[in-house]
Amino acid sequence: MKPTVRVIGLGQRVAGDDGVGLAVVDELCSRGVADDVDLVAVSDASDLPWLLGDVETVVMVDAASTNGPSGQVLQLSLDELRDAEVRPVSTHGLGVVAAVELANLLNLSTAELKVHVVCITIEQPREFTTTLSSRVSAAVPVAVDLVFELIGGKACTNPK
């Protein structure tokens, strides 16, 4: 079945809590999603423009470094994310908002595309670890529930 929804987890597994977006996609995969939901893990945001073109809804799940406590699940608009992005394009790649805007400019996505952003707050990664902190780990099921809510409860009983 052609996907109509794509959930994209962004992050780096080796940077501890920065990998929470990928952990959310892992959990979605374990719980099972409907056949028209495509689950993707992305480490390089320059890959994003190519993932925004052939579906009706995209949910991006990423870690967000804030001054507040870690482990909070936030739903942000692209405008709110734009205000928060420090560096849209750098030597190390594209920012998420820049990637979405590029996709629009390059006609890789349509104006009708619904984009949701789910962020899990983290502290600035400071060590090499492939595991999540307890607070961020506890936020994963909360983020998963929010993603299911955003994609209209497209769960399934037969996990992929």
Tell which one of 8, 24, 94, 119 touches another protein (CB under 8 A).
94
Distance of CA 1 to the CA centre of its chain: 22
Q: Is 145 helix (H, G, I), strand (E, B) or coil?
A: helix
Radius of gyration, CA atoms only, the chain:
15
Q: How far is CA 74 from CA 15, 35, 100, 126, 160, in A?
A: 20, 26, 19, 22, 27
**Segment contacting another protein by CB under 8 A, of 8-16, 25-33, 63-71, 111-119:** 8-16
User: How far is it, in rounded angstroms, from Cα 122 to Cα 133?
Assistant: 9
**Segment contacting another protein by CB under 8 A, of 23-31, 63-71, 96-104, 151-159:** 96-104
53 lies in the binding site for another protein (CB under 8 A): no
Tell which one of 4, 12, 75, 137 touches another protein (CB under 8 A).
12
Number of residues that bind another protein (CB under 8 A): 25
128 lies in the binding site for another protein (CB under 8 A): yes
Residues between 25 and 44 with contacts to another protein, criterion CB under 8 A: 43-44
67 lies in the binding site for another protein (CB under 8 A): no
Q: Closest Cα partner for 151 from 35, 6, 50? A: 6
Q: Which two tokens stand for residue 78?
A: 């692209």
What's the closest the beta carbon of residue 76 comes to another protein, in angstroms? 20
89 lies in the binding site for another protein (CB under 8 A): yes
Is-contact 28 39, C-beta < 8 A?
yes
Residues at the interface with another protein (CB under 8 A): 12, 14-15, 43-44, 46-47, 49-50, 87-94, 98, 101-102, 105-108, 128
